[in-house]
C-alpha cells in the first residue's frame, strides 16, 4: 500500500480490507504509517468495515471475519464492497455484449453494476432472476419514456433471496425453457476445487439452470471472490468461457485461471 493522504475513503477501506485478508490481521499503527492518515481516520474506517461485517475489530487492530459456508450477506451489505472494482468489471463486461443479442444476468451487485452499462446497447433481450437488475431497465424506461431499441426484459418468478435474486422451482422452470447467447454470472465464490459456489441451495440450482441455458458463460467477479467457497457448487471452472475480474487478482490465481478457463479479462489491463 502506498502512502497517500488523498485517498478517498472507499479506496482506503478497500486497501485496508485487502491487507487484513492477505495478512490475516493488521494493527492500527501499521495502517496509519502505510496510508499516511491519523489514528482516528483508521479507526473510523475499521468501524465502517466492521459494520459491513467484512472484518472484526480487536484491541489495537482488526482481523478477518471467518464466515460459515452458509452465510449469505444481503444486497445492501454487498453493494458497499469493492465499488471501484465492480465498476471497472462492469465496464469491461459491457464491451462483450453485441447489439440485438439475448443475454442473461444473474443476481448480484456486479451484474447490477453491469446492467447500468447496458442501457444504451440497442435491441437487447435481457433475461434475469434479479429484481434489482430488472429495476435498472424499468427505471430507465420510466425516466426517458419508450424509445426505439430499448431492452426487452424478462424477469423470472421465484422466491426472493437476501441478495434479491428469484430462485426455486418457478424460476428454474422459466429459465429451462429459454436459450440465450451469453450469461453474465455473479458468484459468491470461485475456486479451482469447488468451481462456482453459493451459500444458498436453491440459488445454486437456479444458477445451474442459467449455465445450462447459455451458449457462453461469463463470470463477473472481483478478486475477493477467488478462493471463497460457499455451501453448494453449481458449475465447474471448465464450464466458464470468460472470467472478468479486476487488477487485484494475484498472479498465482491468474495462472490457475489460465489453466482452466478459455479467457481471462482483467479490467483496466490489456
Which segments within the chain are labelled E, that is strand? 26-27, 55-58, 61-64, 102-105, 125-128, 152-155, 159-160, 166-167, 180-185, 189-191, 195-198, 214-220, 232-235, 242-245, 263-266
Looking at 16-30, 126-140, 148-162, which range is the least confident one? 16-30
Sign of CA dihedral 71, 223, 203, 159: positive
DSSP lists the bridge partners of residue 127 as 104, 154
Query: By the 8 A CB rule, do 119 and 140 touch?
Result: yes
- Pick from 121, 43, 49: which is nearest to 81 by CA? 49
State the CATH architecture for 76-267: 3-Layer(aba) Sandwich (3.40)
Rounded to whole angstroms, the Cα distance separating 126 from 142 reads 17
The candidate with the shortest Cα–Cα distance to 202, out of 149, 242, 243, 157, is 157
Instruction: Find the mean pLDDT for residues 113-141.
Output: 95
Note the pLDDT tens digit of each residue in 235-244.
Answer: 999 999 999 9
Strand arrangement, sheet containing 26-27: 26-27, 61-64, 55-58
Q: Where are the domains of the chain?
A: 9-66, 76-267
Cell of 120: 444504451
The single-letter DSSP state of residue 47 is H
Q: How confident is the model at residue 270 (pLDDT cuts 50, 70, 90)?
A: low
CB count in 10 Å sphere of residue 196: 28
pTM of the shown model: 0.72
| pLDDT 10s digits, 52-71 | 777 888 888 888 776 544 44
Return the CATH number of the domain spanning residue range 9-66.
Answer: 1.10.10.10
Amino acid at each position: 500500500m502506498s502512502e497517500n493522504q488523498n485517498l478517498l475513503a472507499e479506496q482506503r477501506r478497500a486497501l485496508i480490507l485487502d491487507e487484513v485478508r492477505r495478512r490475516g490481521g493488521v494493527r492500527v499503527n501499521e495502517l496509519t504509517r502505510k496510508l499516511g492518515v491519523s489514528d482516528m481516520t483508521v479507526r473510523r474506517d475499521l468501524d465502517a468495515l466492521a459494520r459491513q461485517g467484512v472484518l472484526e475489530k480487536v484491541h489495537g487492530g482488526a482481523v478477518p471475519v471467518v464466515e460459515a459456508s452458509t452465510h449469505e450477506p444481503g444486497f445492501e451489505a454487498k453493494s458497499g464492497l469493492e465499488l471501484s472494482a465492480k465498476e471497472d468489471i462492469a465496464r469491461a463486461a459491457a464491451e462483450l455484449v453485441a447489439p440485438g443479442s439475448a443475454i442473461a444476468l444473474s443476481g448480484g451487485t456486479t451484474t447490477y453494476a453491469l446492467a447500468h452499462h447496458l442501457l444504451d446497447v440497442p435491441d437487447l433481450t435481457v433475461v434475469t432472476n434479479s429484481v434489482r437488475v430488472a429495476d435498472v431497465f424499468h427505471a430507465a424506461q420510466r425516466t426517458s419514456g419508450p424509445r426505439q431499441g430499448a431492452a426487452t426484459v424478462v424477469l423470472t418468478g421465484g422466491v426472493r433471496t437476501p441478495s434479491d435474486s428469484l430462485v426455486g422451482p418457478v424460476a428454474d422452470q422459466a429459465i429451462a425453457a429459454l436459450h440465450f447467447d451469453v450469461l453474465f454470472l455473479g458468484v459468491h465464490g470461485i475456486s479451482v476445487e469447488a468451481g462456482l459456489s453459493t451459500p444458498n441451495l436453491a440459488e445454486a440450482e437456479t444458477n445451474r439452470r442459467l449455465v445450462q441455458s447459455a451458449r457462453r458463460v461469463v463470470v463477473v467477479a472481483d478478486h475477493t471472490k477467488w478462493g471463497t467457497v460457499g455451501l453448494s457448487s453449481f458449475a465447474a471452472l471448465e464450464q466458464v468461457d470468460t472470467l472478468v475480474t479486476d487488477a487485484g487478482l494475484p498472479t498465482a490465481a491468474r495462472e490457475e485461471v489460465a489453466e482452466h478457463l478459455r479467457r481471462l479479462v482483467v479490467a483496466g489491463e490489456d
